[in-house]
Amino acid sequence: MDLLNTLVDKGLRRETPTREEALAVLRTTDDELLDVVAAAGKVRRHWFGRRVKLNYLVNLKSGLCPEDCSYCSQRLGSQAGILKYTWLKPDEASKVAAAGLAGGAKRVCLVASGRGPTDRDVERVSDTIKAIKEQNEGVEVCACLGLLSDGQAERLREAGADAYNHNLNTSEATYADITTTHTYADRVATVQKAHAAGLSACSGLIAGMGESDEDLVDVVFSLRELDPDSVPVNFLIPFEGTPLAKEWNLTPQRCLRILAMVRFVCPDAEVRIAGGREVHLRTMQPLALHLANSIFLGDYLTSEGQAGKADLEMIADAGFEVEGADEVTLPEHRAVRSGGACGADSDGGGVCGSHAGDAGVCGADSGGGDTCGSHEEGAAAPVSGPRPDLVAVRRRGAGTDLAPNA
């Protein structure tokens, strides 16, 4: 296929494809899907080999957000039965983070619901960053706290943060349809502040909110222009109790095409499969590793993910390897630009780059996975269509007395 040959050549040269080429990837047929995955896989392997970076989410403050993001279980007016708690103490957060690091994660993503942090909140998170870094040598820390005020990114950097996540989520043209309490421009400004402070910028999207192919291409091209080191791709989790609860628009094939398109447009960025992979990719998750080089380990912010052990087995069975703490995630030209520690990674999604159906202002969660199943024992689950049985509210880890899933 001439299109795919052209996209591979451009990806290896870090050349931007045309909008028409990106749209064409989303419009390929199921018969062409494996060819698309193979082509994007060549670009992924050129820049990242067969390594998979593991990231771990710590939800520092859950629920009760004043923002009205339609996709989020923590939003203003949400009826989703999620965990609600105020700020974790630094030692509590460090203990939760340690579980993810013991499971193989090299980056910890610290997330807090809300419009944006107060200066006191930045101080709290700074203390948490220091506690985690003191107890875990070489760990990367990404913060995802919402919209930043002047000087806050610099304070997080001084405290030891390596990266900052703030997702664009959808196209500028449709942003007001999903959120009215802040603007698309507000999000762009926060990503720019992170960049300017010397933090590795992490910014991505949420697919499955009813957007068009053109909207998806618009947001990914906007991300390319912002040039984050990490691009988390979230797939909406339609949480009951949120305005988008009935939006079940994704298939595994659609998710793979979206990931391939992101890889072609952002060939040398860390592409992370973030919230919603268990719910929408399902048994196709291993195939998605040929497109993305990063995932979240275990649970998300307010929903359950696949068991951590299952994540590790999936990576090994698919012929990939977990990226070691001593390995640099990003290609050399990005690692140098990001200053080493962050350059050795990029973040996520969520929250540190990854929200979907469960994201707050930050963007990093969604749930599902083999630990969730809620259909009756012995009942046959549908092969396609809505799968609310795969969505389970997180009831372990941060904010509970139960051990985290890592």
pLDDT tens-digit readout, 273-284: 999 999 999 999
**Tens-digit pLDDT profile for residues 123-138:** 999 999 999 999 998 9
Residue 395 within a domain: no
pLDDT above 70 (res 239): yes
Name the phi and psi angles at 356, rounded to 5: -165, 115
Rg of the chain taking only CA atoms, in angstroms: 19
The pLDDT value given to residue 223: 98
The pLDDT value given to residue 383: 52
* Reported confidence tier of residue 384, pLDDT bands at 50, 70, 90: low
* Reported confidence tier of residue 241, pLDDT bands at 50, 70, 90: confident
The mean of the pLDDT values for the chain is 88
Q: For the chain, what's the residue count?
A: 406
Residue 403 within a domain: no
Residue 275 within a domain: yes
C-beta of residue 106 within 8 angstroms of C-beta of residue 300: no
Residue 121 within a domain: yes
Q: Number of H helices and number of E strands within the chain?
A: 13, 10
Q: Which residues contact 88 (CB under 8 A, 6 or more apart)?
A: 58, 60, 61, 96, 128, 398, 399
* 69 belongs to an annotated ligand binding site: yes
* 272 belongs to an annotated ligand binding site: yes
Q: Which domain holds residue 371?
A: 2-390
Residue 406 within a domain: no
* Reported confidence tier of residue 299, pLDDT bands at 50, 70, 90: confident
pLDDT above 70 (res 42): yes
**Tens-digit pLDDT profile for residues 189-231:** 999 999 999 999 999 999 999 999 999 999 999 999 999 999 9
Q: Which residues contact 167 (CB under 8 A, 6 or more apart)?
A: 187, 203, 204, 205, 206, 232, 234, 349, 350, 353, 354, 355, 359, 362, 363, 364
* 142 belongs to an annotated ligand binding site: yes
How many domains does the structure of the chain reveal?
A: 1
Identify which of 25, 2, 1 has the alpha carbon closest to the alpha carbon of residue 267.
25
Residue 75 within a domain: yes
Residue 402 within a domain: no
The residue-averaged pLDDT of 137-141 equals 94
The pLDDT value given to residue 357: 41
The residue-averaged pLDDT of 18-43 equals 98
The pLDDT value given to residue 307: 92
pLDDT above 60 (res 296): yes
pLDDT above 60 (res 400): yes
* 65 belongs to an annotated ligand binding site: yes
pTM comes to 0.89
**Tens-digit pLDDT profile for residues 328-374:** 999 999 986 665 444 333 333 333 334 444 443 444 443 333 333 33
Can you tell me the distance from the alpha carbon of 324 to that of 327, in angstroms, rounded to the nearest whole number? 5
User: Given the structure tokens 């875990």, which residue do they identify?
Assistant: 136
Identify the CATH number of the domain in which residue 96 sits.
3.20.20.70
Residue 61 within a domain: yes
